[in-house]
Amino acid sequence: MIEEGDRVLLVGAGREFWVKAGPGKLGTDKGQIELESLVGKSGGDVITTHSGAEFTIRIPRPTDFFSHGKRSGAPMLPKDIGLVIAYTGMNHNDDVLDAGTGSGIAAIYFGGVARSVKTYEVRPEFSTLAMKNITEAKLANVEAVAKDFLESEGSFDVVHLDLQVQSEHVTHAYSLLRSGGYLACYTPFLEQMAIVVDAATPLFREVHTHELIEREMTRSKRGTRPSTSVCHSGYVTIARK
């Protein structure tokens, strides 16, 4: 059941609106919606504007926070986050350390899978924004920490880095990982990827790098073909202790 302050998505009439349940009104070209009327509703319920247009209520998923959540920069793409989850075997028994929080999108995805997530961000204003997104995602198992990753302590099953990785970051990640745990490093450039691989190879038993490529397909009356949008986004290096 939706409570006051909960984030919801309203979908209908060719529109999507990212709103909070509670006081206030949403004005659309299809009429106004009293946001207080969302309180007590559930996902899948239909709400009507004053002019009769219908919108279906959706309870947000991580994909919706990627599309609509407030951003402090460009987050990792869902396909790249998915590769990290798949190749580390991240699961409900895992404690995860994420560094380079940004808007908190990766941490939100991880929080829906892992037992606990602690995400480090050196810029306090970014960490504050990320925590707002995490709170709106209703993930009590995710904590945002406004500190440098190199100050982090503890023991983890997965360490994920999305920052300007240097060799000392890889060494520190190794010290935090439990036996059999995984380091995952996202790097947008080959030069950064090389730093990760060179630092990880002497420490970890397994080191593998994957190029991140995705091709969306477009279908029209003329036929079906790959989309012309850019399909390469970077590299993820996976290393196992």
pLDDT digits (tens, 9 = 90+) for 150-201: 999 999 999 999 999 999 999 999 999 999 999 999 999 999 999 999 999 9
Cα distance between residue 212 and residue 70, in whole Å: 24
**120 contacts 101 by C-beta, under 8 angstroms:** yes
Superfamily of domain 64-240: Vaccinia Virus protein VP39 (3.40.50.150)
Longest CA pairwise span in the chain (Å): 66
Cα distance between residue 209 and residue 187, in whole Å: 10
Two tokens at 3?
A: 């409570």
Q: Give the burial class of 58: count Cβ atoms within 10 A of its Cβ; 0-12 exposed, 13-18 middle, 19 or more buried.
A: middle
Residue-level pLDDT at 75 = 83
Cα distance between residue 201 and residue 32, in whole Å: 59
The residues with which 193 forms a beta bridge, in sequence order, are none
User: Cα torsion for 80, 128, 57, 216, to the nearest 10°?
Assistant: -20
Q: Give the burial class of 180: count Cβ atoms within 10 A of its Cβ; 0-12 exposed, 13-18 middle, 19 or more buried.
A: exposed
Residue-level pLDDT at 216 = 86
Q: What residues does CATH 3.40.50.150 cover in the chain?
A: 64-240
Per-residue model confidence as pLDDT tens digits over 6-62: 999 999 878 889 999 999 888 888 788 889 999 999 999 999 888 878 899 999 999
Answer CATH for 7-58 from 3.40.50.10610, 3.50.50.60, 1.10.3720.10, 3.10.330.20: 3.10.330.20
Q: What residues does CATH 3.10.330.20 cover in the chain?
A: 7-58
Cα distance between residue 76 and residue 184, in whole Å: 13
